[in-house]
Amino acid sequence: MSSEIYTIGYGNRSIQVFIQLLQKYEIQILIDVRTNPFSRFNPDFRSKKLELHLINHNIRYLFLGYELGGKPSDLDCYTNYEVDYQKIQSKVFFTIGIEEVININHEGLKTALMCSEQSPLYCHRKALIGDYLQANGFDVRHIDKDGTILNELF
């Protein structure tokens, strides 16, 4: 059982480069944590099309944007109209999503959490999910804009 969990953002990457990065790090399942699983700018990253691309490369796809998305519909998750990650982390839907990620990891599947923002420094996948997992003993590895791994983010 591995305690490694990767994160990745697609940003302006092509689907080919994105999949090459997933293959480089031997990702077996991609968990989409976008609140809204579509892209206005790149149709390859709309959930259904993305899932087809991944299936064609033997990578599983799972959408957990309702549970782990950075813009929840629950208005109790906001303070002064800003998303409050501590409030989200106290919600049942977040706990359900995190438990799903942990269970998948415990099954031995090499996992990556995906959002649209390429840099983990500016994305909820780091501040909301990655920091939470790291505080609970996971080795969170962020695939950065240039494809390298960032372990320590400040």
> What is the pLDDT at residue 153?
54
For residue 34, give the nearest of 42, 22, 25, 24 by alpha carbon. Answer: 42
In this structure, are strands 139-143 and 149-150 parallel, antiparallel, or unpaired?
antiparallel
> What is the pLDDT at residue 121?
86
User: Rounded to whole angstroms, what are the CA distances from 14 to 99, 101, 138, 142?
Assistant: 31, 26, 29, 18
Q: Which fold has domain 7-150?
A: Protein-Tyrosine Phosphatase; Chain A (3.90.190)
Domain ranges of the chain: 7-150
pTM (2 d.p.): 0.94
Residue 2 has pLDDT above 90, yes or no: no
pLDDT of 11-57, one tens digit each?
999 999 999 999 999 999 999 999 999 898 899 999 999 999 999 99
